[in-house]
Amino acid sequence: MKNRSLLRWRFPSSQATEGDIAAVEAQFGVTLPADLRECVLKHNGARPEPNVFDLPDGNSSVFESLLSFCSQDENSVVRWVEDQRTSLPHNTVPFALDPFGNLICLQYGSRNALVRVVFWDHEVAGTSPDEAIVELSDSFDEFLALLYESTD
């Protein structure tokens, strides 16, 4: 996937507002990158097509859907962080999930500067927290460019 405009987004949840995004940013003390902010405002909770991406170990995963930035929605960012607070690194903010409960996240560094997009494996986190995070890309747009159609 080389062009973000070629992505199709299906089945959005509640319409997110700037206020919803600001509330998530305030709760985590971060600023979302403009490319993700724009996507959430248009496609909150939606599923992208294509949606497959490769992991560094040679396996692949599926970008099931964006998490909702509306706190009342079942698959909201806030609810996922509350559910995973003991194992999700403190500098990591999820924005999407795969079909197996793993999260695609923004990882922030010092002074809450965005460092990268990462994949968090909940099963690995239970036994080896340091190995649960793998880098996917340097930005949200770069991550979207990695998506491709499944050949299965």
> Does residue 150 fall inside a structural domain?
no
Average pLDDT, the chain: 90
Residue type at 132? A
Residue 68: give its domain's CATH number: 3.40.1580.10
Predicted pLDDT at 2: 46
Which letter, b or e, does each residue of 103-142 get, where b requires 16 or more Cβ atoms within 10 Å of its Cβ? bbbbbbeeeeebebbbbbbbebbeeeeeebbeebbebbbe
> Does residue 151 fall inside a structural domain?
no
Residue type at 69? F
pLDDT in tens, 29-69: 899 999 999 999 999 999 999 999 999 999 999 999 999 99
Predicted pLDDT at 49: 96
> Does residue 152 fall inside a structural domain?
no
Report the distance separating Cα 28 and Cα 147, nearest Å: 27
In this prediction the pTM is 0.91
Percent of the chain with pLDDT over 90: 66
Which residue range(s) make up the domain with 118?
Answer: 4-145
Query: For the chain, how many structural domains are there in total?
Result: 1
DSSP state of 152: -
User: Residue 99 corresponds to which tokens in the numbers above?
Assistant: 């079909």
Bigger pLDDT: 112 vs 149: 149
Predicted pLDDT at 119: 96
pLDDT in tens, 94-111: 999 999 999 999 999 877
